[in-house]
Structure 1
Amino acid sequence: MLRKVVTGFGVALAMFVGMVSTSGLAQAAPNDGSVPPVPGGGTWVYVRWYEGHTMESYARCSDDGAHLYPGRLYQCRQADNPATTQLWVLY
């Protein structure tokens, strides 16, 4: 039984590491006024990026936010260097 739990944890950890490795390490939002304040507190966390400033990249970002982080607030924002659309999630 313990072996099965450990194996399941290893698979979950590998999936998480795979997600992080494709999008970069998560980081907290800068405190420069570019992120709207959150009533009651919380921290916006950058979790992944999508290439370009296109409707397709925004749609992929929005779909991932809704499916990967159900019940959480998320934002898809544009960054300029390089040109990407970024997914930010509120924790």
Structure 2
Amino acid sequence: MIKSVHIFKKKNLNSVKHLYIVSKKVQDNFLNYFPNVNQLSIRHHFKTLVDSITATLHHVISLRQLEKLVIECGDFPMEDLIKLLRFTSNVHTLE
């Protein structure tokens, strides 16, 4: 199940299992937290204003809960991928 979430609309965030990030810039003050996400897909290598990608994602989802990580961009830095994998110990599928 994939749900789109807009910053200005309140949704039942507990029902979201797959978070798909397509933006090239993610706001560090994004206040929505998705407690039950177990799959993360990233379409573009996104920029953050202050924090690292890992720190920003940690404010949005539980990285330890992820089971599947899909990186759909060829220019995602290897250093960021390694940092992300360090915090996602339950990932069993990497695409």
Q: Which band: TM-score by shorter chain?
A: under 0.3
Of Structure 1 and Structure 2, the greater strand share is in 1
Question: Structure 2 length normalisation: TM-score?
Answer: 0.26
Question: Structure 1 length normalisation: TM-score?
Answer: 0.27
